[in-house]
Every structure is written in C-alpha cells, then in structure tokens.
Chain A
Amino acid sequence: MGCCHQSCFWYQVSRRLRIKVKSPSSQDEKTREEIIAAREAKKISKLGKKQKSTLAAPSTEPGPAPASLTGTTIITEVEQTTITTKLTRTTTTSGCKKNVVEKQGAVAPTPIATVKSLPGIPGDESGVSEKSRDQIKAEREAKKAAKQAAKANKSTEKITQQLGEVTLDGANSVPGKATVKATSLATAPTEQKKPVTKAERRAVQEAQRAAKAQAQVQGKSSQSQGISLNASKSKLNTTSTPPRETELSPSKASSPSKSPQAIGNNTPKSEGRVKLFNHLLTADKDASLFINDAQVHPSIARLGVQYAQRTVVGSNARCIAFLHALRQVVNDFETPAKKEFGRSLDAAVKHHVDHLHKCRPLAVSVFNAYKQFKNQLTQLPTDKPETELKELLGHFIDTYIENQIGKAAQAISSFLQEKITDGDVLLTFGCSSLIHFICEEAKRRLVNFRVIVIDSRPNCEGQEMLRRLHVHGIPCSYVLINAVGYVMPEATKVLLGAHALLANGYVMARTGTAQVALVAHAHNVPVLVCCETHKFSERFQTDAIVYNELSDPNQLVRNEKCCLNNWQTNSRLTPLNLNYDITPPELVSAVVTEVAILPCTSVPVILRIKPDIGY
C-alpha cells in the first residue's frame, strides 16, 4: 500500500528520527491505545463539566472530575500518537488511563465501542470508565443488531439510536442545560427495551417537531425539554443498554435549541450580517434537518456535533477524530448486495464527509486525510474478501495518523531543538499541540528557556497552552494580543502553529497569527511556523476575507453588562468573529516541516515532490 517513494521518504524521516529522538519504541505499540485513551479522556473531560451525576451506575474509579472540571471547554489538540501518553496525563487523571491499560488486550473494535458508548451516560462523570467488557460487548451486539434490523426494516430505529447518541452528546455539551438534561435523562437507564411501533414513533416525532418550532433561542430550551420529557416517558426504546436509551424528545428538542448557537453566523433575524462576508454565510443551518439522516453513521454524527460545538478544535485533533470515526464507519460498513465494496464505501464516506462539512467547514487536514483515503480506496485489490480489505483500510488509517501526525511531530521537534538554546525567550500565540510538544522536548533536554504566550479574545485558547506548559515547569508569561508590542523586544524567536499552508506561501492560521508575525518582523525577531506536510493545501489566497470561517458572534459579548448585549436588536451593529487569517510569506522567516526547514515560498516545491499530499 502506498507509493514506494512515500515509504522511502518515511524511511529517511525515521532514520533521522532514530538518530535524534530517544523515545522508546514501545510507544508505538501503545499508540492505538493511547489514541483511544486520549479520546476517552476528551469525552470524560467534556462530561466532567456537568455537575450532576444522577445515574445509579456505581463508580469505583475516582472520576476525572477534578481535572476535567477545571479544564476548559475547548479541548484542544490532544491526539498526537507518540505524545499521547503525556497529553493523556495532562488532560485526565490516572484513573482513566488505568482503565484503558486494562483493555490492552482487547480487539480494536471493543475500545472504540467503549469510546463511543461513553457519552451515553449523561451526567455521570465517574461511571463512564466503569464499563465492563461484557457490557460493552453487549452494547455493541445490540447496536449491531439494531442496525441490521434497521437496515432490514428501514425503520427509524437506527435513527433513534443515532439520535440518542448524537444528541446525548449534544445534550451533554450544551452549557447551562446540565440540570434539566440530567433530570430528563435520569429516567433513561431505568427504562427497558420495548418494541416501538412506527405510529408511536411518528407521533413522537410530530410532537418534537412542534417542540422544535417553539424552541428558537436558548431561553426556550428548557420549555421544550419539558415537553419532550413528557413525550419521552411514553416513548419506547428498542435498545437494550442504558446508554442507548435515548429519548427522541430531548434529543430533538435540544438540537434545535442548540442549533442557533452551534452553527455559524446564524442569527434569528436576518440583519446583523457583515456585507463583506455575505459569501461566507450559508443558509440557516438547522442541525435537526440533517441530523436525522439515516445514512450517517453514529460516530460521524457525533463527530459532526463535536465539530459544531467546538468540542474538538485544532487541526490535528480534528483530523485524528475524523480518522477514528472513519475507521469505525469502515468497520461497520456492509456492502449492499450486488455492489462493489470499494465504490459503495466511497459513496458512503462521501456522504458522511458532506455531513461533517455542513456541521463545520472541513479543516484542511481533514480534507487531505479524506483525499488520501479516497485514493487508498481506488487502489484496493478487488479479489480480497471484505474483512481483509477493511483491515487494510484500518491499517492505512493507523499508519496515516502515526506517520503524518505522530512522526511528523517528532521530526519537526528534532529540527527545532537545534534552534532552541539556553537563554532563549520563545513567543507563541494561542494553543498549538505541535508547539507544546516542542517546548516539552526542549524542557526534557534541560534547555534553559522561557515562553511568552500571546492570547486573544474571544476564545482565549492561550490559557490552555499556559496550563500545559505550566505542568512541565516551563516559566511563562502571558499577555493579550494588544500588548504584543510590549513583550516583543524581549523575545528571541517566535514559534507559531498553522492550520494550513497555502500554495502561494501564505500561512493560514488562527486569527491574530498574522499580527504577531507583523510585530515580530518589525522587531527583527525570526518567525518560525511549524506545520506538518499533511496540512499543505493547493489553494491560493491573498487575504483573509475571500475565504474564511465565521463563528458565533455572541462570543464577543463579554457578559450581561456588556454594551454589546443586545446587538441583535440593533440592525447597525454586528460583532464579527473570524476564525482564520492569512500571514504573508515576507513576514515568516522559515517554515519547519518534517521534510526540511523551508522558506515560506517553497511550499509548491514540496507539493511537487510529494504529489500525494496537499489537495
């Protein structure tokens, strides 16, 4: 699999790594487990935000509550395979990790099933990790059975399950609804699996659609949940396991209520749009419109919600999450009769990717991974049995994660370790997993340096970076981006992460990166952008307006007393929350990739020699 020159290339990279990096090879074995652990940890920390634990499920593990409660809502890039162990430790307590280690011998699907079913228990932080293997297996079997039944009957059962899982996640991650949801779903585990007739289900759906129509804004969510609560009591579930006992009602009710805030720059009124960005505003996206989609795999649906809710942020994290979900899709995929595996899977995956794109415009890393996967599909041998093909694809996904993200991070870090010397003052912006990894390595090598973290509203991702660096004992300073001119004279180097590298040499990164590079250039401080090659894109762009992503303008409103509080009522006032901006190549001294340290203008060269990357 894969082109031979790719393997040559990796050989070179790994050879370099062998010389430079001392990380134990045993880490590779654990990578999959670590990935899962990390995902678990992410879910746990997300759940950990919920204060109530109303379920009866016993918990012997000390929940990850303390760590995850203090953790931020944004779970930034967690998954880098070789660094996953360390990251897992920082984001969760040891409890979860132990749990994962227990399952070491488990077959791949099982841990994933664990991961998937975790959010099924709402409001229960500690009980999450308590799943026994049998329970998981039972859940999985039931799910599979249900899926089969669904496919056979073409009933809405699967929808139920999907919705349950999906919107349960959504329910969990919507802030401020903890109490209501917890109580409403408290009834979930106690309900038994009962056959649901189509008519009943349809009635329930009608009720929910009525509820959804009412739920326009946040404030009305509780009301709709009240309605849904009543509806749910009468609802019957086919699933056998507690997590699967989802109510359509809370799910559906919650989805419309969270859709206004989850999806893009979507305001109830049509004013409050910035004309400059009209091309970026899509039609009002209502999550429930497509969340009902029968053909979307639950893991993809959940991922979509995670993307939309900003639970999973960061280029690498999104890519890894996508690939895990994709692997699950592949494993659960059943070729329809008289169709070829490769082509039908291709169509199915395309459908899933479209779904994700609707939830949140695809990250460049995700898009590239998808392209690679598609490429892989076309090269599948046709004579092998399906299980073997699935294994091949699974293996490809694992290799992709391992090489493009894990090993690339190591290579980049080894390049940079030569540049970081004693007495250095590194300046960084926002939170980048790669930069964190590099700093960690440098600290391990006992280099005496300190870091200045620049942060910006409204997301304040820099606080997460600060927290992580603090764990390693790296002395840090912290300022907001307007004070970057104040701290820049002290800095000796600027290290920036990137979302993508465009083909004309421009760097696409979080809003504010270009400003930091600008001030650094004015002070003659070298700017290093660290970017793995899987983030290279063939797009050309010269400014940040022609293509960008707009996120929720309400994030700019600070609190109730803020002057912008009722900006929707004023047609002239619009807050604007841009996600990305473009840094011109003259402001960047060097781009560090796993291939080499390049000048910013050499991106097309890499695209040329590595034709299979960067779409």
Chain B
Amino acid sequence: MKKVSFKIILLFLLHVSASHAGIDGSGHDLRPPHSKDLACIYCHPPYGDAGLNQRWTSETRSWIEQNGKKKKPLLKAARICLGCHDGNMAMDSLLNLPEVKRITIRSRRWKELDDSGFKVYGRSKFKEEARIIKVVNTDQVYDATDHPIGIRLSDSSYIDEGLYKEPINPSLRLFKGFIECFTCHSVHNTTAYSPFLVSSGTELCLSCHRK
C-alpha cells in the first residue's frame, strides 16, 4: 500500500514538472539567470485578486490600432498577449510584486537583453517582429502588418469563399467564434513549431484558408 501511494505521488510530481517543461527556457521564460522563482509568476500571482492573471495592469494598457484609432482588442484572450506584445513588457506593473530588490536585479538583466536601451524602470522593449500593431485594410489596399484578430471566422467565410467556416485542424481554437492570438499560438507550450505555434506553418494557414 505504501509503495503504491509513493509511486502515485512520484508520477504526479513528474507530470507537474513535465507541464512546466514547456515554458521553462523558452522565449516566455522571463526569469533572469540563477533565479529561484517559477516562470509562472510573471503572469500568474499565487495570491491576488486579478483572477490569477498577473498581467492585469499592463493588460488594460494594451491596445490595437484600427483606422488610425486606438481600440481595445475584442477579447481578453488577445489582451493578455498584447499586455507584453505591444512592445512594453513593463515588468514593474505586476500586481503582486516580489521584493523590490529582486525587481532591480531583474531590471539589470533586461538591460543586457535590450538593444534599444532602457526607457523606464522595469520596462523593456524587444524585437520588432513581436510587436503587434493591427490595421484593418480598406478597400483593396492591404496595410496590415499582422494577421487580423478579433474577427469571427464564420462571418468572414460567408463573404470570402476562400475561408472555411471553422478551422479544419482541431488544434486551432476559436474563442466564441473569434480568431485570437491563441488560435495559432499556445503560450506555455514550446512545441516543435516555433514560435509557440499549435501546428506546422503551412498546416496553420491552410486550416482556415482554402488555397
């Protein structure tokens, strides 16, 4: 009986550590080297009233641009990503800060990583390709740098016969019918498909686009 329960505990621990193996060491692992923290705390506080979402403060500042105007993205699913991927990681905007001393250490670490320099205490900019600004295309003029989000695939497929009504690949998830960042990306999971994609590059496109 004792042996059996020990095995069960071991299996459980292994399972837990395996699920952490996704984000550890990935581009989403925001810990400085030699950190004793779990990578989770940069988004999820163990305590606090933000619904387990550490990024609450920066999330409300994230925005998209449509027709020259700044707008809040449609769903929380996108706001969470844009909380960092609007160009400002704002590491001082965590709801539940660790000791201040440790934030300083982390800030120094980002200074090493940050080519463009350190603007505000705790903030860091990063490579342009991760900075998401959305522009809706006007008639026959495509001026978006990024794939649209916050649109309903089933609505678009009525207009455009080149789209399926829903993704033919079940790895692609819609959120209440809307395409969001999480449709193509899986934030915790460094799979074989970089960066954080749920499927291979071509399969991803052809899951919605009938080409």
The answer to whether A binds B is no
Binding site for A on B (CB under 8 A): none
A contacts, CB < 8 Å to B: none
